[in-house]
Amino acid sequence: MNEFTVIKKYLRNLSKNKRGSFNLSDDIFFDYKKKIGVSIDTYVEGTHFLNFKNPGHVIKKALRGAISDLICKGIIPKYYFMSFSGSRKHLSQYHLNKIKLALKQEQKKYNIILVGGDTTYSRILSITIAIIGYSEKKPILRSGAKLNDDIYITNTIGDAFVGLKILKGDIRLSKKNRDYFINKFYLPNIPIKFSKKIHLFANSSIDISDGFFQDLQHILSNSNLTSKLFMSKIPISSHLNSYLIKSGSKKLNFISNGDDYQILFTANKKKESLIKKISKTTSTKISKIGIIKNKSIFKTAKSTIGHVLLPKKLGYIHKF
């Protein structure tokens, strides 16, 4: 079984009478009366990151990934809980000082406060972060996409995957390029300023954490729709573009491997000028990469030069 089968078969029925749980089909819980949103994420050594040699970077990655779940819904994060399971090698004085400094920097950057958590012994390191935020508006869910909506992505995607391949030793680059991609893996540039305006235009939204195609599929399946994609419009950085040219690699193989933490959203065509304006005022790159179509099965992505078959692996899925 995979994570989605477990949720559907064993857990979804437990939340069916609670409006803000969204049948466990989204990444958050939202209390409509108190205007409070909650999200929780777990990061495990060897699965979400290779090791704990750079504790500050790992902590920042985990915290930003958790924040990303809320901001793509238009919810402003305020508090967080952190549970830490590890051994003495993970909680040495060196590691603890790095963790403290990283959390202090992130709290200042995102205006959030640590309010609780837990620490336990474990041979395997895992970090769980729960984020609490507030919104006077209803959250922008995965399920709100409309027929003929435009599909947008913030900033660029794909760099984090190159960073992971470098860390694994699968890709070798100059130190300058190596450092760039590794930083993109550990320190995603989450679009928090842009997200504060997302209620003004988005019909549906999700953060790109499991992979572009995988996360787009969540939007489409929740609305029983499909999409026409313009592959050439899917945004990648100049660094990744240069690497693809030099290595002869295909863009398709680098844009849906997760850890991007950008916002994938849909909006009515009439909102395009507003989106461009907010893109400019928040200094956030926005790319229109497709259109929502009226079909129930998502099989192929169409580019401006014809049909492009989707990769067999749409993104990352936890299997048990």
> Tens of pLDDT along 115-167?
999 999 999 999 999 999 999 999 999 999 999 999 999 999 999 999 999 99
Rounded CA separation 102/60 (Å): 6
Q: Across-strand partners of 287? A: 153
Task: Check if the beta carbon of residue 261 is closer than 8 Å to that of residue 208.
Answer: yes
pLDDT of residue 13: 81
Give SS3 for 142: helix
Amino acid present at 109: K
**Mean of pLDDT values over 247-268:** 94
Q: What pLDDT does 24 receive?
A: 79
Residue 4 pLDDT: 65
The mean pLDDT of the chain is: 90
Confidence of residue 75 (pLDDT cuts 50, 70, 90): very high
Distance CA 54, CA 32 (A): 39
Residue 305 is predicted with a pLDDT of 43
Tell me how far apart the alpha carbons of residues 192 and 74 are, in angstroms, rounded to a whole number: 9
320 pLDDT higher than 70: no
3-state secondary structure of 206: strand
pLDDT of residue 304: 43
Say how far apart CA 86 and CA 251 lie, in whole Å: 37
pLDDT at residue 3, rounded to an integer: 67
| Average pLDDT of span 200-216 | 94
For the stretch 83-105, pLDDT in tens is 999 998 888 999 999 999 999 99
Specify the pLDDT at position 302: 47
Of 18-22, 148-152, 184-188, 300-304, the range with the lowest mean pLDDT is 300-304
Question: What pLDDT sits at residue 10?
Answer: 79
- Chain mean position to CA 209: 3
Higher pLDDT, 263 or 16: 263
* Residues 288-316: tens digit of each pLDDT: 999 998 865 444 444 444 455 566 666 65
pLDDT: which is higher, 2 or 269: 269
